[in-house]
Amino acid sequence: MQSNDSQGESISLKESRFSRFESIDWWKQETLDSAKVLVVGAGALGNEVIKNLALLGVGHLAIVDMDRIEESNLSRSSLFRSEHEGEFKAERAAKSAKDLYPKIKVESYVGKIQSDIGYGLFRWADIVVGALDNREARIFVNRACTYVGRPWIDGGIDVLNGVARGFQAPQTACYECTMSKVDWDLIQNRQSCSLHARRALANRGVPTTPTTSSVIGAIQAQEVLKYLHGLESIIGKGFLFEGLAHNSYKIEYSINPACDLHYEQAEIHNDHDLSNRSTMRQIFQWGEKRLGKVEALDIYREIVSRTSCPQCGQMTECFVNAETIPVSDTFCSRCEVEKIPEYLHSLGPDSPYLDKTVSSFGLPENEILWLRNSEKCIGIDLTEIPFQSHV
């Protein structure tokens, strides 16, 4: 308080929460207040991104992670404490974001990004942030963002080094454009493994420090800030940081002519009469009203419709995502040998499965399905409940 002796009055010099930000000439706090950001990954890097977005005053945040907090996370994660061990990272990160900024509307999703999170959540967001540690998850996020027309900011850390980069296909290079033949060989080797072997592959932790996470997480959050304000951002480019000698440089990515994601994506529609409880036949009928003839309904996921034993021929119908298929479904109970999976990616108009519901295919809530004929493809967003905070 500052005293005014001549007037006998006091003038309050107390600043508002975001007054230091609002003194920046291009800053629009209302833009951040209405912004919707999806953060995929709530580990060390995700913690830094979430912390910064909450401090900046981003109004709507969705957080996805499948793991629980372990003791080893506590030395690298600013949002977690010892008493949080055993909790889901996504749920605790959401609560911590709310502690930092009580007005934030935040939702947590516990699950594997490739199997448990619908494409509709990506479409809900204005921009997506990837705080991931494996190629398969990055490829899924890259494709999801491309399908629904959203930009995303990828981050990666390794010991004292890190990278932040932005993608918005088809306008710019995408994550897959940056992958080398070695990267693709590693992916294909894993995909060629049996279902049981794929489930058994362990994810090894990435050696890193909280300082590197702080650097890259801050860059990612800052790029979100710039994008939302319409400033030139890292989209189509990368920032590489080498922490031992403190070298850093930018790189521009070129579109790979062989990348099959660089085409005009299908228009996506909403129909609140449809949901994941609707049958595939109802989805087909919806498509016929808009396309006339529908030749196929496409599922942009790897669904195992059934497994069969190569010895006795025993067949089991399962309808589950290949990423989450139970071990019991991968072995024959009679012969004790591994079964052969049959994958399902699309349905034709004469499919015997048209009377099954969307959810019975092992598809998540908030899913998007695509219908096509020889001339056009459209998507139907089955997101049923508008985003609202439970924290």
Is residue 131 pLDDT above 50, yes or no?
yes
Is residue 197 pLDDT above 60, yes or no?
no
CB 350 within 8 A of CB 281: no
291-331 pLDDT, tens digit each = 999 999 999 999 999 999 999 998 989 999 998 888 878 88
Is residue 3 pLDDT above 50, yes or no?
no
Q: Looking at residue 13, what is its pLDDT?
A: 62
> Residue 153: which residues within 8 A CB-CB, separation 6 or more?
127, 128, 129, 130, 164, 165, 166, 220, 223, 224, 227, 234
Is residue 389 pLDDT above 60, yes or no?
no
What number is the average pLDDT over the span 10-18? Answer: 74
Q: Which domains does the chain have, with CATH numbers?
A: 23-252 (3.40.50.720), 267-381 (no CATH)
- What is the spatial distance between Cα 387 and Cα 106, in angstroms, rounded to a whole number? 9
201-236 pLDDT, tens digit each = 545 567 788 999 999 999 999 999 999 999 999 999
24-54 pLDDT, tens digit each = 999 999 999 999 999 999 999 999 999 999 9
Q: Is the pTM here over 0.95, yes or no?
A: no
- What is the spatial distance between Cα 346 and Cα 363, in angstroms, rounded to a whole number? 13
Is residue 99 pLDDT above 50, yes or no?
yes
CB 49 within 8 A of CB 129: yes
CB 32 within 8 A of CB 59: yes
Position with higher pLDDT, 361 vs 387: 361
What number is the average pLDDT over the span 322-341? Answer: 88
Residue 1 — pLDDT band, cuts 50, 70, 90? very low
Copy the structure tokens of residue 132. Answer: 């991931």
Q: Looking at residue 150, what is its pLDDT?
A: 98
Copy the structure tokens of residue 384. Answer: 């049923």
Average of per-residue pLDDT values in the chain: 91
CB 371 within 8 A of CB 271: no
What number is the average pLDDT over the span 356-362? Answer: 97
- Of 156-160, 176-180, 387-391, the least confident: 387-391
Q: Looking at residue 93, what is its pLDDT?
A: 98
Is residue 341 pLDDT above 80, yes or no?
yes
Is residue 6 pLDDT above 80, yes or no?
no
72-96 pLDDT, tens digit each = 999 999 999 999 999 999 999 999 9
> Nearest to residue 44, comparing CAs of 175, 218, 238?
218
Q: Is the dihedral of CA 386, 290, 140, 259 positive or negative?
A: negative
What number is the average pLDDT over the span 108-135? Answer: 96
Q: Looking at residue 199, what is its pLDDT?
A: 52
DSSP-derived pairing of the beta strands 60-65 and 36-40: parallel
Residue 192 — pLDDT band, cuts 50, 70, 90? low
- What is the spatial distance between Cα 126 and Cα 235, in angstroms, rounded to a whole number? 14
Q: Looking at residue 368, what is its pLDDT?
A: 98
